[in-house]
A and B are shown apart, each in its own frame.
Chain A
Amino acid sequence: MTHTSTSAPIATDGFVLHDEDRAAIAHEREHYPHPQAASIEALKIVQKRHGWVPDAAIEAIARELGVPPASIEGVATFYSLIFRQPVGRHVILLCDSSSCFLTDYEALRDAFFAHLGIGFGQTTPDDRFTLLPVCCLGACDRGPALMIGDDTYGPVTPEEIPTLLEGYA
């Protein structure tokens, strides 16, 4: 997760939108009266394939939708689930909101830090996991809750972390 637009340009020469992604973006466009509305979805489509959104993809999407790159970047850097830096193979989203906080989120967070050896916004050296905080996951009845990729878990105790992560190579 990055909010800086000034990070050093990362070499992404030769980036081309995958045909399937172009088709998916084109499909999304049809839902809306204006192509710009598909920009968030387009970013997500690209991110699904590459794990994150490189600079060149911003330009590619801008061209695809006929919107200036600055607008796409404005959107990409606004939303927390669009990653403008490389992330690990699996992104762990740890709910840090109040109900989880009330059900011992901080202990779970510290256990993750210790287990993975990284803090929020960081990726393990083997590129396996990136750890990020996330807004209330709507799983407050099962706090503390988290997501790994598309899967939601809760309540999770510090002891369960190793087994939980086993399934994510």
Chain B
Amino acid sequence: MSRILQDRDERRPETHPLTFRLNDDGTPVMLDAYREQQGYASVERAFSDLTSKTLIDELKTANLRGRGGGGFSAGLKWSLTMQGEGIPRGYIVCNADEMEPGTFKDRLLLEQQPHLLIEGMILAGFANNAYQGYIFMRGEYVDAARTVQRALEEARAAGWLGRDVAGSGWDFDIALHTGAGRYICGEETALINSLEGKRASPRAKPPFPGQSGAWGKPTVVNNVETLCNVPSVVLHGADWYQGLSQGKSGDGGTKLYGVSGKVKRPGLWELPMGTTGNELLERAGGMRDGHTLKTWLPGGGSTGFLLPEHLELALDFDTIGKAGSRLGTGLIAVVADDQNVVSLARNLEEFFSRESCGWCTPCRDGLPWSVKLLQALEAGEGERGDIDLLESLAVDLGPGRTFCAHAPGAAMPLASAIHYFRDEFERGVTRGQGAAHADPIPVGSV
């Protein structure tokens, strides 16, 4: 039960396409209520007015950017899916594996508005000539799974899924697939491996999933929130969608923003894309009493730290990117002044190190080393050279050097923590550089 902290009055169809139907009490919006509020209207429109190509063009113009953290244009992704003679119909996979530290937005949509996602997936299926959709949901989202399963049954019973969807002559169904842990399953190609019942190591790109994805067939992977944006684009058009961001950003639409950490009112809001950090922090009621803001993560554990002065920036992909971080999932985590950054970095790297799939060397073996160095610094047992080593690790874990974006995600907070708070790290260095050695393993402990 994530909470949307906006009252129903604020959430209007014209301005809050993702959340306007949500009940204030957090109960799920099931089929009847959903249908009453424009539910599945976009599917009807698509079947009557659109082709795969026009739908994708609309989406491209709307400039809907992926909400899973990468910000890749959904329309562009769909236009690259292989279709045509001799190419088998493929899959739409919804990435509902939400495990990015500090991120709790997809949970809300899954638990409270499953039909919006199903509607988005039907459109994706239609546009990408897929015949089957999968919702890949993390195993811990027990309530969400139950709700989504119910919604799938409702949709199937009402003819929105299955053979001959809504009398269109086109078949499409969706199955729920629940995971068994591991953050890396959220990486889209690892997710596909996991869906296939394999170890969730990522796959090399190219070929991209759109060329050869699940079971070698063209596959589109999109985040829950991304897919939930599609119905309103199809229903109201690209221009309308662009306007939703009210000029606050070059990107269109709204965003489910959130705040966690020591604030008075942690939670979620649907706001125009490009809303500033200050506005968000204000909505969250500011820092808890007795705390001031030291630093913040703009969109999950894999984004870089920013300083309080960056709060005035528009929270969109390009602006935050220019500031040296990433928008990521757009749910900010605030760090209070009493928090030791070395410890926080250690916590983050422990996470990434544990969640490494173990495929490529820098991530598999470099991250645990970074953890040990951070632990040493945290305990005041750092050696001269440790910080340089961490910095060089952060470079070597960067894009292109590792097999997937997991390690670069780990490198970003590490590099930025050292960049902004080097003195805290230096305080942990108490020793000269020791001779090369590895702690012996005590006899009997193997």
Residues on B lying within 8 angstroms of A by beta carbon are: 1-3, 98-104, 106-107, 134, 138-143, 175, 177-183, 194-200, 215, 258-262, 266-268, 297, 301, 331, 333-336, 339, 344, 347-348, 350-351, 355, 357
Contacts and interface: CB of A to CB of B under 8 A. Distances in A.
Contacts of B101: 97-99, 135-136, 140
Contacts, number: 150
Contact of A141 (B2, B138, B139): B2
Interface of A: 31-34, 36-41, 43-44, 67, 71, 74-75, 78-82, 93, 96-99, 101-103, 134-143, 147, 150, 152
Nearest to B195: A37
Given A33-B215, A36-B197, A103-B260, 18 more contacts: A32-B195, A44-B139, A67-B197, A75-B199, A78-B182, A78-B357, A80-B180, A97-B102, A98-B101, A98-B102, A98-B333, A101-B347, A135-B351, A138-B141, A140-B260, A141-B104, A141-B267, A152-B140
A135 B196 contact: no
Contact of B333 (A39, A81, A140, A152): A140
Given A34-B196, A34-B215, A75-B199, A99 B102 contact: yes
Contacts of A142: 266
Contact of B266 (A67, A79, A134, A140): A140
A79 B180 contact: yes
Nearest to A76: B180
Contacts of B180: 40, 43-44, 79-82
B184 to A, nearest CB: 9
A102 B335 contact: yes
B266 A138 contact: no
B179 A79 contact: yes
A81 B178 CA distance: 11
B344 A98 contact: yes
Which of B3, B258, B260, B351 counts the most chain A CB atoms within 10 A? B260
A38 B301 contact: no
Nearest to B108: A138
A93 B141 CA distance: 13
Nearest to A31: B175
Nearest to A65: B197
B140 A98 contact: no
A79 B198 CA distance: 10
A17 B271 CA distance: 50
8 contacts: A32-B175, A36-B198, A75-B197, A79-B182, A98-B301, A102-B262, A140-B333, A143-B266
Contacts of B141: 138
Contacts of A97: 101-102, 301, 347, 351
Contacts of B297: 98
A8 to B, nearest CB: 14
Contacts of A150: 142
Quick one: which of A33, A82, A141, A143 has the most chain B CB within 10 A? A141
Complex A-B, nearest 5 residue pairs according to Cβ-Cβ distance, in ascending order: A80-B181, A140-B260, A79-B180, A81-B181, A97-B101
Nearest to A93: B140
B344 A101 contact: yes
A41 B178 contact: yes
Most chain B CB within a 10 A radius of its CB, from A103, A136, A150: A136
B102 A136 contact: yes
A77 to B, nearest CB: 9
B215 A135 contact: no
Contacts of A37: 195-197
B197 A39 contact: yes
A79 B191 CA distance: 12
Contact of B140 (A75, A101, A134, A141): A134
A81 B185 CA distance: 13
B215 A99 contact: no
Contacts of A67: 197
Contacts of B215: 33-34
A102 B140 contact: no
A81 B139 contact: yes
Contact of A78 (B3, B100, B183, B200): B200
Contacts of B100: 136
Nearest to B3: A141
A107 B257 CA distance: 28
Q: Which of A82, A96, A101, A140 has the most CB of B within 10 A?
A: A140
A102 B344 contact: yes
A43 to B, nearest CB: 7
Contacts of A134: 140, 181
Nearest to B348: A98
Contacts of B260: 99, 102-103, 140-141, 143
